[in-house]
Amino acid sequence: MIMKLYNTMTRRKEEFVPLVPGEVKMYSCGPTVYNYFHIGNARPFIIFDILRNYLEYKGYKVTFVQNFTDVDDKIIKRAKEEGITEKEVADKYIEEYFKDAEGLGIRRADYHPRVTELISDIINVVKKIQDNGFAYEVDGDVYFDTTKYREYGKLSKQNLEELEAGARVEVGEHKKHPMDFALWKKQKPGEPAWESPWGMGRPGWHIECSAMSMKYLGETIDIHSGGQDLIFPHHENEIAQSEAATGKPFARYWMHNGFININNEKMSKSLGNFFTVRDISKMYDLEVVRLFMISSHYRSPINFSKDLLDSTKNSLERLYIAKNNLLHLLENAKDRDETEEEKALREKLMTHKDKFIEAMDDDLNTADAVSAIFDLVRDINSNINENSPKTLIQFAYDLYMELAGVLRIVTKKEESLDDEIEKLIEERQKARKEKNWALADKIRDDLKSRGIILEDTPQGVKWRRA
RNA sequence: GGCGACAUAGCCAAGUGGUAAGGCAGAGGACUGCAAAUCCUUUAUUCCCCGGUUCAAAUCCGGGUGUCGCCUCCA
């Protein structure tokens, strides 16, 4: 079936048909690496990682690019504060990005370009724009001339006059129009700079994404994504620059995720409701955060709180218990032919996969996809037990892991126990055989206080971590 | 002023014309030596309010109300 995606450009769900059949080229705006990334940054990283996975699951060859902005005012400021170089700041937080991203189950992109590595490519794009008559230089700064680009505002559905009314013009800027923006910024004392046809300077903020997208994916790409706040001005400017440079459409589908609020308020440092993923990782397994993010639709605004994470943690627990039950059943399963009824069960379980795919095809409705997994889990729990044949258990397990794998949840393996605890469990089993319930319960309570929960099942004792 | 989003049970959240998914929390039951896990039952005559269209609306239209966001760095 054909997938539908909501395209910000047309404000409609559209059938997704890539430019080259079977191949998808996607670019997602990445972090400015001056700090640990926060829970709001995490949302697009997770969502578009899942989009990428799902497109691959559907059989597309996906090329995915996500940039690191490693030259920018915030990085320069940070470097000055800490008395280290801009590169050291960027290197550190790129490394930290990968740590947190891995915890969240986010795969690395095919390319993670850094601005400082592509300066000459960026300069070339700026030159092209200037050669095409869409940019002008004023004393070492190069600005994009928005009045020359007739379609300016097509993504955010604004026109120049309206924008002008709300615009703020900084003193000392030499722009011809308030909405013009810098492609190249003249060096200021003490700032990192590179040689260019306009003298020493550094790229403006928006140009890097245009240059990187073109370099790794070509002049027209399939999907460009990011947070809703990037629609204007960042993505609007990217479109203007790129199309002014190439004369070709820049991206065919624009996808934007909704914001995360804290108690219905925007997260900001001044309100003191700012959470980095690193902070959260100290209290929760980050897989909980991943499940939380995909439990609602990516375009809806969502609230974030500890209570919501606690609730999600319990949901995830249910999924893990189901997985581990299947593994446990598999260990001692009987080899025998399936009955007609059991064969019919396979069909029933497959209906959940259909629902899953239908949901994902509908503009990445992960909330519905997750509910399909819960439906599958319920059917598995109700119908598969210690009497089920091995082939059926394996089938259920594989199906479950296939769907969970697309979302990259329920990925962790069961850990092993240390010898001391193994011994206590054996001791308890012995006590139970002798009907020494007092001792058996005492051992169970002791283990519980050490974070090990025991369950007595028809196939013997099972354990899990609290 | 311009552009836009959201409002569904105690909480979270799908559904967007055909009679309210799923999760968490709670209650009752089955199972168990007792638990845990699991399963079953139960929790919205109703989807912010008021009109309208329709055989039929949470879903479409009009008008309100409330909350939030972008237009300035921002996911």
Structure tokens at A36: 């640990």
Q: What percent of chain A has pLDDT over 90?
A: 79
**Distance in angstroms (rounded) separating the CA atoms of residues A201 and A292:** 43
Question: 3-state class of A25 per DSSP?
Answer: strand
Count of domains forming chain A:
3
Residues A131 and A23 in one domain: yes
Q: What is the pLDDT of residues A398-433, one digit of tens each?
A: 999 999 999 999 999 877 778 889 999 999 999 999
CB A144 within 8 A of CB A135: yes
CATH of the domain at A359: 1.20.120.640
Phi-psi category of A204—alpha, beta or left, where left has phi over 0 and alpha has psi -120 to 50?
Answer: beta
**Distance in angstroms (rounded) separating the CA atoms of residues A230 and A113:** 19
CA of A352 to C1' of B21 (A): 12
Interface pTM, i.e. ipTM: 0.94
pLDDT beyond 90 at A172: no
A296 touches strand B (CB under 7 A): yes
A35 touches strand B (CB under 7 A): no
Q: What pLDDT score does A112 carry?
A: 97
Question: 3-state class of A53 per DSSP?
Answer: helix
Residues A397 and A320 in one domain: yes
CATH of the domain at A34: 3.40.50.620
Domain membership of residue A170 (yes or no) is no
- Average pLDDT, integer, range A183-202: 94
Residues A352 and A384 in one domain: yes
pLDDT beyond 60 at A170: no
Q: What percent of chain A has pLDDT over 70?
A: 98
Q: What pLDDT score does A166 carry?
A: 58
Of the ranges A40-44, A164-168, A270-274, A372-376, the best mean pLDDT one: A372-376
- Which has the closest alpha carbon to A235: A157, A124, A165? A157
Domain membership of residue A199 (yes or no) is no
Burial class (CB in 10 A: 0-12, 13-18, 19+), A265: exposed
- Average pLDDT, integer, range A133-148: 93
Q: What is the pLDDT of residues A125-138, one digit of tens each?
A: 999 999 999 999 99
Residues A256 and A312 in one domain: no
Domain membership of residue A172 (yes or no) is no
- Looking across all nucleic acid strands, the nucleotide with the smallest C1' to CA distance from residue A319 is B23
CA of A23 to C1' of B72 (A): 38
CB A278 within 8 A of CB A102: no
pLDDT band at A229 (very low <50, low <70, confident <90, very high): confident
Residues A356 and A215 in one domain: no
Q: What pLDDT score does A341 carry?
A: 92
Q: What pLDDT score does A22 carry?
A: 97
Burial class (CB in 10 A: 0-12, 13-18, 19+), A170: exposed
Domain that holds residue A382: 306-407
Q: What pLDDT score does A357 carry?
A: 97
Q: What is chain A's mean pLDDT, rounded?
A: 92
- In strand B, the nucleotides that come within 7 Å of a protein beta carbon are 1-7, 11-15, 21-25, 32-40, 67-75
Structure tokens at A323: 């997985």
CA end-to-end distance (rounded Å), chain A: 41
Q: What pLDDT score does A332 carry?
A: 83
- Average pLDDT, integer, range A75-87: 93
Domain membership of residue A95 (yes or no) is yes
Question: At which of A302, A325, A352 does a domain end?
Answer: A302
- Average pLDDT, integer, range A352-365: 96
| Phi, psi for A237 (deg, rounded to 5) | -70, -40
**Distance in angstroms (rounded) separating the CA atoms of residues A203 and A279:** 32
Does the CA dihedral A188-A132-A209-A117 come out positive or negative? negative
Residues A331 and A281 in one domain: no
Q: What pLDDT score does A169 carry?
A: 54
Question: At which of A302, A334, A350 does a domain end?
Answer: A302
CA closest to C1' of B13 belongs to A296
CA of A301 to C1' of B74 (A): 16
Which residues numbered 242-271 in chain A sit less than 7 A from strand B, measured from CB? 257-261, 264-267
Residues A399 and A295 in one domain: no
Question: 3-state class of A443 per DSSP?
Answer: helix
Looking at A41-55, A63-77, A221-235, A262-276, which range is the least confident one?
A262-276
Q: What is the pLDDT of residues A382-391, one digit of tens each?
A: 999 999 999 9
Domain membership of residue A53 (yes or no) is yes
- Average pLDDT, integer, range A350-366: 96
Tell me how crowded residue A269 is: count the other CB atoms within 10 A of its CB.
Answer: 8
A166 touches strand B (CB under 7 A): yes
**Distance in angstroms (rounded) separating the CA atoms of residues A80 and A61:** 43
A230 touches strand B (CB under 7 A): yes
- Average pLDDT, integer, range A32-59: 95
- Which has the closest alpha carbon to A408: A296, A286, A241? A286
CB A67 within 8 A of CB A25: no
Q: What pLDDT score does A389 carry?
A: 96
Domain membership of residue A180 (yes or no) is no
